[in-house]
Amino acid sequence: MEDSADDDTPMLGMDLPETPAPAASSGPYRVLARKYRPQTFAELIGQDAMVKTLGNAIARDRLAHAFLMTGVRGVGKTSTARLIAKALNCIGPDGLGGPTIDPCGVCEPCRAITEGRHIDVIEMDAASNTGVDDVREIIEAVRYAAVSARYKIYIIDEVHMLSRNAFNALLKTLEEPPPHVKFLFATTEVNKVPVTVLSRCQRFDLRRITPDMLFAHFSAILQKEGVEAEAPAIWLIASAAEGSVRDGLSILDQAIAHADLEGGGTITADQVRVMLGLSDRSSIAQLMAAILEGEAGGAIDLARAQYALGIEPVAMVRGLMDLVHAITLAKVSRHDDPALAAADRERIGDWAGKLGFAPLSRLWQLLLKGHEEVLRGNNPLEHLEMLLLRVIYSASMPDPGELAKLLESGGLAALAQVAPAPRAGQERAESPAAAETAHADAAPSALTIAQIHRLLESQGNHRLAGLVYDHLKVIELEPGRLMFAPAPALGEAFAREFGDALFQATGTRWQVGPGEGVARPSLGDVEQAKIADNEARIRELPVVKAALAAFPDARLELPEDNRHRSSP
Examine the pLDDT at 414 and tell me if it is beyond 50.
no
Beta-carbon count within 10 A of 242 CB = 15
- Sequence letter at residue 150: R
Residue spans of the domains in the chain: they are: 32-205, 211-276, 281-395, 398-421+429-568
Average pLDDT of the chain to the nearest whole number = 79
Residues whose CB is less than 8 angstroms from the CB of residue 111 and which lie 6 or more positions away in sequence, other chains included: 105
Give residue-wise pLDDT tens across range 267-281: 888 788 778 866 667
DSSP 368-429: HHHHHHHHH-SSHHHHHHHHHHHHHHHHTSPPHHHHHHHHSTTHHHHHHHHSPPPPTT-PPP
Give residue-wise pLDDT tens across range 246-255: 999 999 988 8
Give residue-wise pLDDT tens across range 427-446: 333 343 334 433 333 333 46
Closest CA to 530 of 428, 410, 413: 428
The DSSP bridge partners found for residue 204 are 69
Q: Which of 15-24, 233-242, 370-379, 531-540 has the lowest mean pLDDT?
A: 15-24
Give residue-wise pLDDT tens across range 174-194: 988 899 999 999 999 999 999
Q: 3-class DSSP state for residue 76?
A: coil
Give the pLDDT mean for 9-20: 40
Beta-carbon count within 10 A of 92 CB = 15
Give the pLDDT mean for 331-345: 70
Q: 3-class DSSP state for residue 154?
A: strand
The span from the CA of 521 to the CA of 527, in Å, is 10
The span from the CA of 379 to the CA of 371, in Å, is 13
Examine the pLDDT at 480 and tell me if it is beyond 90.
no
Q: 3-class DSSP state for residue 267?
A: strand
Give the pLDDT mean for 2-12: 43
- 400-409, long-range: CB < 8 A, 24+ apart: 400/557, 401/358, 402/358, 404/559, 407/534, 407/558, 407/559, 408/559
Contact 205, 20 (CB under 8 A): no
pLDDT score at 512: 86
Task: Compute and round to an integer the Cα radius of gyration of the chain.
Answer: 40
pLDDT score at 398: 56
Domain 32-205, CATH: 3.40.50.300
Instruction: For residue 149, give the DSSP letter.
Output: S
Residues whose CB is less than 8 angstroms from the CB of residue 123 and which lie 6 or more positions away in sequence, other chains included: 116, 155, 156, 157
- Sequence letter at residue 388: L
The span from the CA of 454 to the CA of 468, in Å, is 10
More confident residue, 24 or 196: 196
One-letter-per-residue 3-state SS of 476-496: EEECCEEEECCCCCCCCCHHH
pLDDT grade for 156, boundaries at 50, 70 and 90: very high
Q: Which of 262-276, 365-379, 502-516 has the lowest mean pLDDT?
A: 262-276
More confident residue, 1 or 158: 158
Helix crossing, 523-539 with 449-458: angle to 10°? 110
pLDDT score at 2: 43
Give the pLDDT mean for 232-237: 88
The span from the CA of 335 to the CA of 527, in Å, is 50
Residues whose CB is less than 8 angstroms from the CB of residue 422 and which lie 6 or more positions away in sequence, other chains included: 428, 533, 537
Give the pLDDT mean for 117-125: 90
Q: Which of 164-173, 389-398, 421-430, 553-562 has the lowest mean pLDDT?
A: 421-430
The DSSP bridge partners found for residue 184 are 67, 155
pLDDT score at 187: 92
Outline where DSSP puts E strands in 112-173: 121-125, 152-157
pLDDT grade for 419, boundaries at 50, 70 and 90: very low
Size (the chain), residues: 568
Give the pLDDT mean for 350-368: 86
The span from the CA of 447 to the CA of 477, in Å, is 8
pLDDT score at 12: 38
- % the chain with pLDDT above 90: 16
Handedness of CA 460, 464, 466, 468 (dihedral sign): negative
CATH T-level topology, domain 281-395: Zinc Finger, Delta Prime; domain 3 (1.20.272)
Examine the pLDDT at 24 and tell me if it is beyond 50.
no
- % the chain with pLDDT above 70: 80
Give residue-wise pLDDT tens across range 60-104: 888 889 999 998 888 889 889 999 999 999 998 888 888 888 998
CATH T-level topology, domain 211-276: Helicase, Ruva Protein; domain 3 (1.10.8)
The span from the CA of 235 to the CA of 191, in Å, is 32
pLDDT grade for 408, boundaries at 50, 70 and 90: low
